[in-house]
Chains A and B, each alone.
Chain A
Amino acid sequence: MTTELFTGAEMVVKALSALEVKYIFGYPGGSVLDLYDAIFQQDEVEHILVRHEQAATHMADGYTRATGKVGVVLATSGPGATNCVTGIATAYMDSIPMVVLAGQVPTTLIGNDAFQETDIVGCTRPITKHSFNCRDLADIPNVIAKAFYIASTGRPGPVVVEIPKDLMLPQNKAPFGIETDVRMRSYNPNVKGHTKQIRKAVKTINEAKRLVVYSGGGIVLSDASELLTELVETLKAPITNTLMGLGGISGTHENFVGMLGMHGSFEANKAMANADVILALGARFDDRVTNNVEKFCPNATIIHVDIDPTSISKTINAHVPVVGLVDVVMQQILDELAATNFTPDEEALIDWWQQIHLWRDMRHVGYKQVEGEKIKPQRVVEAMYKITKGEAYVASDVGQHQMFAAQYYPFAKPRQWINSGGAGTMGFGLPAAMGVKLAFPDKHVICITGDGSIQMNIQELSTCMQYNLSVVIVALNNRSLGMVRQWQDMVYGGRHSSSYMESLPEFTKLAEAYGHIGIKIDTLDELDSKLEHAFSIKNKLVFVDVLVDEKEHVYPMHIRQGGIDDMWVEKGVKA
């Protein structure tokens, strides 16, 4: 019997298929033509052709955030690969598992400044979890399996695999073998929390009078939302979420005090500042959460649970560090609570919750929508929430609209809220929404965006047409770069340097030119009905261009260099 031989290109496809990959997002070019030829000749893995490689990475990313499956990107060497850089950085900052397959010039030409040669592994080294240069044809399947394993375990992240063209040529063949049960002596991420630390954590929780649970993206990534809810209900404690952690517990849960941080709720930031114990679960004390670290929650004992030891005590010192997968550690904490017959200190809880309710009543800034005046952006988000019954997937771009969505669309479930939190990548929203829609064609998928962000990947309207991705794009159009403008209003004496867009296209016509439906809304009285109409349209992409009040600011907002609870609560008013 002779062993069947395969080309490198065939091996890539076979490896992806063995790893149960359904979609790859990419764009062809010289160095990967053999791979595209192999893709053409099979039907296990479907290729989605985008219009720009950056969008391929965001689309894979959105697909991953919604499904939990590793996203796969394919780009050619040189500019194809460098166009992926922003998308890789976006995934890296939010710990999203992604494998980027990048073509490379033939091995013999590497280092010669060949046509479309870029050292993509070098370019992406600081923004990847790991990367591989394939140098041997027979290695390709196992390198890809390793890439998947590294991307999806421990603290997830993007992995780049560079494959030179000569490894994929039809005349070079080798037998196919893949080991999907990967073991590496240099990489063994922790799983369980240290028992001693768990006991310490539970002891600290037991002694708390004003406990706050602060949870982040780790809960979403590890699908630990039910455990989190159980833990919070056992502790009867208030819980706040980071921007990345929204949906980790239902946004309407009675213990939920809202998002914290720069644009967090008044009561969430107040609760943090006044807590005596903070239980941080899969969150990393980002600077957009802490404000000035010197003034951060001075009276709190901090229990920090994270899979990544480098996140612990990086910015804020943890008194009780616990390294492990957040779902496993939460179960350990629950078990230890049960073993020690934990009963919440009811007396302390009554006082603590009274205080929190007081803050909740004090804060109410919100926004004021006056009939006959310009539409407030917050009002649009609330309308979307009502129409979609809070069940839509919401993929956001970056800016004011992102914060309004985070504040006014309480997410019931994890993975419903898809946004670029760490990197803050404008242009993320549309391709990410497309990735979600591909995974869930029957669900409402909203791309909430602005007139600035949408233009950073607007070419993807064409991809939407090709694959019939009927996303509802809602652009909160304020004819400005809203968040930039807000900072200029607040910090730069109202000098709107380059934050004003004077020659916007007619977005509805642009959508129509791509074959979609465009709906324009510029008065309040037509907002609800037109939005409802937009969401009733099936199997067609709808671009809803809502003209909103350009003067609106996002509040609350941290006062720079202050503590976590030093906030502007409305224009000119400090908390």
Chain B
Amino acid sequence: MRHILSILLENEPGALSRIVGLFSQRAFNIESLTVAPTNDQTLSRITIATIGDDKVLEQIVKQVNKLVDVIKITDLTERNHVERELLLVKVAAINDKSRTEVKRISDIFRGAIVDIGKQIYTIELTGSSDKLNAFIETLNNETEIIESVRSGCVGIARGEKALRV
């Protein structure tokens, strides 16, 4: 099963490599990983999407927690949460038909065209990973995807539950 793990850790050199090293050393999966400092610059927050059964997840959570730099870890998928991923995708828009079609699909998915070239549209879309997958599939049926980049998902718990020091 897919899980979204949120990790609060010291913003120190080497902290990220310890997390990544742990996953490879113990043969845990990483589907995606995002990291950035939080509003408190001494802290970083990492979101990892991973796949594993309950036993593996228990080990991942415990092993991450054991790292000296890690302050807290939570499995967001255990409770209500908001999950988002950002996609930037560059597609061929070579004639009126394809330009219209790309614009229409973007609108339906609530994407935004953020850059236009002679024969190129660049679209920005935010949403759940599923939504992004569906968008890419739909685009692929209409035109050529030149390149795409995804941020990996970030998440936050709904309500009062918070990951903080």
Contact = CB atoms under 8 A, between A and B. Distances in A.
A309 B69 contact: no
B100 interface: no
A310 B62 CA distance: 5
B17 interface: yes
Contacts of A150: 68
Interface in B1-53: 9-10, 13-14, 17-18, 21, 25
Nearest to A133: B13
B66 A309 contact: yes
A412 B82 CA distance: 59
A185 B68 CA distance: 10
Contact of A125 (B13, B21, B55): B21
Contact of B165 (A125, A129, A185, A314): A185
Contacts of B62: 309-310
A186 B9 contact: yes
A298 B58 CA distance: 22
B19 to A, nearest CB: 11
B68 A133 contact: no
B58 A186 contact: no
Interface in A359-389: none
B139 interface: no
A186 B69 contact: yes
Contacts of A186: 9-10, 68-71
Contacts of B151: none
A67 B59 CA distance: 33
Q: Is the interface of B mostly helix, strand, loop or mixed?
A: helix
Instruction: Categorize the interface residue count of chain B.
Output: 20 to 34
Interface string A298-341: 00000000001110011000000000000000000000000000
Given A130-B68, A185-B71, A309-B66, A314 B18 contact: no
B63 interface: yes
Nearest to A314: B59
A130 B13 CA distance: 12
A122 interface: yes
Interface string A105-126: 0000000000000000110011
Nearest to B72: A186
Interface in B68-99: 68-71
A313 B58 contact: yes
A185 B10 CA distance: 9
B75 to A, nearest CB: 15
A314 B59 CA distance: 7
B57 to A, nearest CB: 12
A480 interface: no
Q: In the complex, which range does the number of interface residues on chain A fall in? A: 10 to 19
Contacts of A129: 68
A121 B18 CA distance: 11
Contacts of A133: 13-14
A183 B133 CA distance: 46
B65 interface: yes
B61 to A, nearest CB: 9
B20 to A, nearest CB: 10
Nearest to B13: A133
A566 B69 CA distance: 43
A125 B68 contact: no
A150 B69 CA distance: 11
A491 interface: no
Given A125-B21, A133-B13, A186-B10, A310 B70 contact: no
A383 to B, nearest CB: 44
A126 B25 contact: yes
A380 B2 CA distance: 57
A468 B63 CA distance: 44
A184 B71 CA distance: 10
Nearest to A313: B58
A111 to B, nearest CB: 13
Contacts of A187: 68
B18 A125 contact: yes
Contacts of A184: 68
A504 B117 CA distance: 76
A131 interface: yes
A121 B17 CA distance: 11
A308 B18 CA distance: 18
A135 to B, nearest CB: 8
What are the nearest 6 A-B pairs in CB distance? A130-B68, A310-B62, A186-B71, A309-B62, A126-B25, A187-B68
27 contacts: A121-B14, A125-B14, A125-B17, A126-B21, A130-B68, A130-B69, A131-B14, A133-B13, A133-B14, A150-B68, A184-B68, A185-B71, A185-B165, A186-B10, A186-B69, A186-B71, A187-B68, A308-B66, A309-B62, A309-B66, A310-B59, A310-B62, A310-B63, A310-B66, A313-B55, A313-B58, A314-B59
Given A133-B13, A186-B71, A309-B62, 7 more contacts: A125-B14, A130-B68, A131-B14, A184-B68, A310-B59, A310-B63, A313-B55
